Every structure is written in structure tokens, then in C-alpha cells.
Amino acid sequence: MSIKQISVFVENRPGALYGLTGVLAQNQIDMRALNLSETSDFGIARIIASDVYKATTVLKDAGYVNSITPVLAVAIPDVPGGLNRVLQVLADAQENVEYMYAFLGGKDVDHAYMIFRVADPEKAAKALSARGIKLVEQEEMENL
């Protein structure tokens, strides 16, 4: 039920992120989601890409250190309390949210989409599914 997130180490300097996104653009790889966290010397770009294999290959060939992490992509009803309901399910399942970020997607205007990094994606996915919360599959990411 998890999807693959690519984490890329990027120097914290002007133009570094531009170089990273340029590699993806030149190779026709669409980013579905992007999150950037930084320190004074480097950052970590977390990317959900349309083609994970191709993205990791071209990034490696361009000299970028990257890794793949399983994360959950969740369709959250776009209503007041929608996110709170998802977080309640994760809390009830004793799953800590290490980080999360939102992304745009699809023609489904009734949902917002979020990426969740949790310790046990399989356990969290089962808990969410059992409560009727829709998870987005890896194949669906290509069509959002």
C-alpha cells in the first residue's frame, strides 16, 4: 500500500535545487510532490515522481546521492476536520507521523492529498483502509 519517495541530498547553495529539477525536466520526469528540508550545508529534497526507476537512475548518473523510502499517499476528504480524522486513525493505531507534506493531484476536487512517513507503513495503511480512508497506489501517481 505504500508508494516510493525519492530522497536526494542537495547542497544548500544558490542554483542547487535548479540543477536537480533541471535533470528531471530534461529527462521528462514529472514531480508529483516535492518537499525540501534544509540545514546550513545541505538539504534533502523528497520527491514523488511519475517514474521512480527512471528518476533515480538519471539522478544517480548526474551525481546526486539518493535513496528510496516507503511512504503513504492518502486522499483526505477536503472538508473541515478531514486531516484530523486521518491523524486520529494513525494515533489510534499507535503510528507516529515522522513527517508529512501535501501535494496537488488529479481531477478529484473533493480530496486533498498528503504524503505521510510513518514507522510501519503497512500497519498504518491497514488501519486507514479499515476506516474507509483512501490510499493512493504507486500506479495511480502516474495519472494524478
Tell me how far apart the alpha carbons of residues 101 and 36 are, in angstroms, rounded to a whole number.
10
pTM > 0.95: no
Tell me how far apart the alpha carbons of residues 122 and 78 are, in angstroms, rounded to a whole number.
24
- Domain residue limits, the chain: 3-69, 71-136
Assign 144 a pLDDT band (cuts: 50, 70, 90). low
CATH number listed for the domain at residues 71-136: 3.30.2130.10
Contacts 24+ apart (CB under 8 A), 18-24: 20/45, 20/59, 20/64, 23/58, 23/59, 23/62, 23/64, 24/49, 24/55, 24/58, 24/59
Q: What pLDDT, in 10s, does the model give residues 32-56?
A: 899 999 777 889 999 999 899 999 9
Average pLDDT rounded to a whole number, residues 94-116: 84
Q: What pLDDT, in 10s, does the model give residues 114-138?
A: 999 999 999 999 999 999 999 998 8
The CATH topology of domain 3-69 is VC0802-like (3.30.2130)
